[in-house]
Chain A
Amino acid sequence: DAGVIQSPRHEVTEMGQEVTLRCKPISGHDYLFWYRQTMMRGLELLIYFNNNVPIDDSGMPEDRFSAKMPNASFSTLKIQPSEPRDSAVYFCASSESVRRGYSNQPQHFGDGTRLSIL
């Protein structure tokens, strides 16, 4: 049973370059979440989707960040242009909703993308 798949696992790039992170959620899950983890700020929710539609993007730090979910099995998080302070581990997670909503369902996390901006 495949879990959430993220690619690449590691990304090192220079400041100013465009970075694209990819996520494949668990099949059948209709919620998808993007998080960022740093030592200083811990785990931050950036944005989440329901049925491919962005529901809350209030955690997206700046306009340089954008996320899309063109279909139920794929999402991207893009940073353009990238800056050194964007260096972090980015996680994608998915969960399923049930009749009463998604609130009581656990999220399943991918293993993350470790992003380093030089």
Chain B
Amino acid sequence: AQSVAQPEDQVNVAEGNPLTVKCTYSVSGNPYLFWYVQYPNRGLQFLLKYITGDNLVKGSYGFEAEFNKSQTSFHLKKPSALVSDSALYFCAVRENQAGTALIFGKGTTLSVSS
């Protein structure tokens, strides 16, 4: 069965510092991995995805994520955090197989202080 874990409920960083939001996953086959961001009173917005190829994936708003197959991780990163990055971040995984659903993590609240 597929599963995804975001071990931190909240991540706090100072503006200008690098940020990392952690995600680990479990699938029986090859994974498709996604990051979404949710701002208050809004729906989830797609940030980036890993399907195949380079392990470092670049996405919207300067975010990137690194796929690590041996550690089954897909951590979200940004070199320099902005206060406007403060939001709820979701990692999601799906098996590379027709008919499987996208499984979301519980979400991590990122708080960037000025």
Chain B contacts for A48, CB-based, 8 A = 101
Contact at B107–A104, with CB atoms within 8 Å? no
Q: A42-B107, A43-B90 are in contact. Are A104 and B41 (CB under 8 A)?
A: no
Min C-beta distance of A55 to chain B, whole Å? 7
- Identify which of residues 36-58 in chain B touch chain A, using a CB-to-CB cut-off of 8 Å: 36, 41-46, 49, 51
Q: A91-B44, A106-B34, A109-B45 are in contact. Are A101 and B98 (CB under 8 A)?
A: yes
Contact at A45–B44, with CB atoms within 8 Å? no
CB of A112 closer than 8 Å to a CB of B? yes
Q: A42-B106, A43-B107, A106-B49 are in contact. Are A111 and B43 (CB under 8 A)?
A: yes
| Bitwise interface map of B from 88 to 102 toward A, beta carbon under 8 Å scored 1, else 0 | 001000111111111
Contact at A91–B98, with CB atoms within 8 Å? no
Interface size, chain B (Cβ < 8 Å): 25
Contact at A103–B32, with CB atoms within 8 Å? yes
- Identify which of residues 94-118 in chain A touch chain B, using a CB-to-CB cut-off of 8 Å: 101, 103-104, 106-112, 114
CA distance A108 to B49 in the complex (A): 13
Chain A's closest residue to B48 (CB) is A106
5 contacts between A and B (CB under 8 A): A43-B90, A101-B98, A104-B96, A108-B46, A114-B41
CB of A56 closer than 8 Å to a CB of B? yes
Contact at A91–B43, with CB atoms within 8 Å? yes
Contact at B49–A55, with CB atoms within 8 Å? no
CB of B104 closer than 8 Å to a CB of A? yes
- From A45, A55, A103, A110, B43 is in contact (CB under 8 Å) with A110
- From B51, B99, B104, B106, A55 is in contact (CB under 8 Å) with B99
Contact at A104–B44, with CB atoms within 8 Å? no
Contact at A103–B101, with CB atoms within 8 Å? no
CA distance A91 to B102 in the complex (A): 14
CB of A93 closer than 8 Å to a CB of B? yes
- From A4, A45, A104, A107, B51 is in contact (CB under 8 Å) with A104
Chain B contacts for A101, CB-based, 8 A = 98
CA distance A109 to B90 in the complex (A): 13
Contact at A42–B43, with CB atoms within 8 Å? no
